[in-house]
Chains A and B, each alone.
Chain A
Amino acid sequence: MKNFIVPDNIAISDSGFIFLPSTGETFTLNEMGKEIFKLLQAKKSLEEISSEIIKEYDIDEHTLERDIEDFILRLKSLNLVIQV
């Protein structure tokens, strides 16, 4: 999977609230979503994100990577990340 980053003008609050300034849309992420989003903001690759998350949760690597990919593609469809 290609790498994705969060555009500079998008911020996420501590509570997981995201505001897209170009459209006025707002989104709320759960704890896991927030964690992945912040790793994307820190310009981490899919592999790096996966290895960070797997340390904390009891989940097999294949399932985790698939779920993260699904989540990132969803973020892309909402214009919250862009492919680099």
Chain B
Amino acid sequence: MKLAITGLNATDNPGPGVPLIRSLKHSEEFDAEIIGLIYDVLEPGIYMENLTKKNYLIPYPSSGLENLYERLSYIQQQEKIDVIIPTLDSELFGFVKLEDKLEELGINMFLPTFEQLNIRAKDKLFDFCSDNEINVPKNILVSSISELQKIPEDFDYPVVVKGIFYDAYIVNNLEEAKTAFLKISSKWGLPIIIQEYLKGDEFNVVALGDGTGQTIGAVAMRKLYITDKGKGWAGITIFDNNLIEISKKVIERIKWRSGMELEFIRSSETGQYFLLEINPRFPVWVYLAPNAGQNLPYALLQLALGNQVQPFDNYKVGTIFVRSSWDLITDISVFEKITTKGEI
């Protein structure tokens, strides 16, 4: 069997590809060749020993789906891939659009639908949570600087100014809000989300839904160390039934079909969990899940192959990950090959 995975950019803002591959290899039953699909010749995953069998450059999603399809068709002729697991937010819509065409080429995936992707989008999450009695911070959408004037009427400062795709700033007054608005809108477009700021600890859940409303597994983690970019650099598995039940409720209501990450904050005032975001793919810390007893990536692979998967019912609390940086040394010939041929 051959399996292709994206997101090998194990940088200081890492993609989930490398931990996903490590998770798959963690399973004793895993027996497949792994093909790396990369967007950049310096994605560290391709320089790691014994991680992938072969790697191919693919075009950025912004260059158009036709280009991506053409490239994947070529790769398919060479490799006969059984399953692709896309791991990045920015490429998901493209892969969902290509799902039928890739299936005709013999490539299986296990992806959410457009509708599911839309329900959990940052600008729609508030409505979804309100409709389903899930706590969510108050938020409003603004499309112009003049609309920022209404912030103090709705919430007290500080507030969180968030981009529709990425980026978030905590601001303390209107002037800071305007600066954040301009920064984010110039990079990620409109609208901008103004969200109530809640004090509390962040908790994240990695989960897998089978598309019928059933949760195959869910593992909760608290970040122990957060970098200045807001990335969790260490974390520990925890168990709070409320947190897992809210996650299962989300999966049930959306009938989520794929891996996901749910981001929560537990209010230090009330102790209640508020859902901040739903990321439509496994998180970078997904390798913690198999080590705590739930190999969610391997379960996703089975679902992509059309196999039955039994839900997990527990996991080991107190399992810790600590991320590290590691310099890989390689010869220029390797770099030359991937740069000139687009595959290695």
Give A contacts to B, CB under 8 Å. Answer: 19, 21-24
Residue B305 is within 8 A (CB to CB) of chain A in the complex: no
Bound together, the chains give a CA A23 to CA B235 distance in angstroms of 11
A-B contact pairs, 19 of them (CB 8 A): A19-B318, A21-B238, A21-B239, A21-B317, A21-B318, A22-B238, A22-B239, A22-B240, A23-B222, A23-B238, A23-B240, A23-B266, A24-B221, A24-B222, A24-B224, A24-B235, A24-B236, A24-B237, A24-B238
Whose C-beta in chain B lies nearest to the C-beta of A11?
A: B318
> Which A residues are CB-close (under 8 A) to B222?
23-24
- CB contacts under 8 Å to A, within B142-166, are none
Number of A-B contacts (CB under 8 A): 20
CB distance from B242 to the nearest CB of A (A): 9
Number of interface residues of B (CB under 8 A): 13
Q: Is the interface of A mostly helix, strand, loop or mixed?
A: loop
Residue B79 is within 8 A (CB to CB) of chain A in the complex: no
Residue B201 is within 8 A (CB to CB) of chain A in the complex: yes
Q: Is the interface of B mostly helix, strand, loop or mixed?
A: strand
- CB contacts under 8 Å to A, within B72-109, are none
Give B contacts to A, CB under 8 Å. Answer: 201, 221-222, 224, 235-240, 266, 317-318
Whose C-beta in chain A lies nearest to the C-beta of B320?
A: A24
- Given contacts A22-B239, A23-B238, list 8 more A-B pairs with CB under 8 A: A21-B238, A21-B317, A21-B318, A22-B240, A23-B201, A23-B222, A24-B221, A24-B237
> Which B residues are CB-close (under 8 A) to A24?
221-222, 224, 235-238
Bound together, the chains give a CA A23 to CA B265 distance in angstroms of 11
> Which B residues are CB-close (under 8 A) to A23?
201, 222, 238, 240, 266
> Which B residues are CB-close (under 8 A) to A19?
318
> Which B residues are CB-close (under 8 A) to A21?
238-239, 317-318
Whose C-beta in chain A lies nearest to the C-beta of B241?
A: A22
CB distance from A23 to the nearest CB of B (A): 6
> Which A residues are CB-close (under 8 A) to B238?
21-24
